[in-house]
Amino acid sequence: MPAKPARDVEKVYSVHQFAAKLRRFADALEAGKPFRIQVAGKRLHVPAGAEISVEHERSDGVEELEFQIRWEY
């Protein structure tokens, strides 16, 4: 299988859109099912066994909270 090209994008969503995506993801997690999402025009398939973490960063007067989902392809 050919290597996938590197990609690093960030997409800003409205509160309503973000809540809907989180709700769908939480439902898939609880059901032990894979999750599909589209980010900046690219469809992603997140497997049920993906690693989930929460990251908190603070620097220069800015705080950041990231919900991270990782898996190998």
31 inside domain? no
pLDDT digits 0-9 by tens, 49-64: 999 999 999 999 999 9
Q: Who contacts 20 (Cβ-Cβ below 8 Å, separation ≥6)?
A: none
68 inside domain? yes
Give the tokens for residue 44: 């992603």
Judge whether 35 and 26 are in contact, CB under 8 Å: no
Q: What is the pLDDT of residue 7?
A: 85
Q: What is the pLDDT of residue 1?
A: 67
| Number of domains making up the chain | 1
Judge whether 38 and 21 are in contact, CB under 8 Å: no
pLDDT digits 0-9 by tens, 4-49: 888 888 889 999 999 999 999 999 999 999 999 998 888 999 999 9
14 inside domain? no
Which residue range(s) make up the domain with 48? 39-73
Question: Three-class SS of residue 22?
Answer: helix
Q: What is the pLDDT of residue 39?
A: 87
5 inside domain? no
71 inside domain? yes
28 inside domain? no
56 inside domain? yes
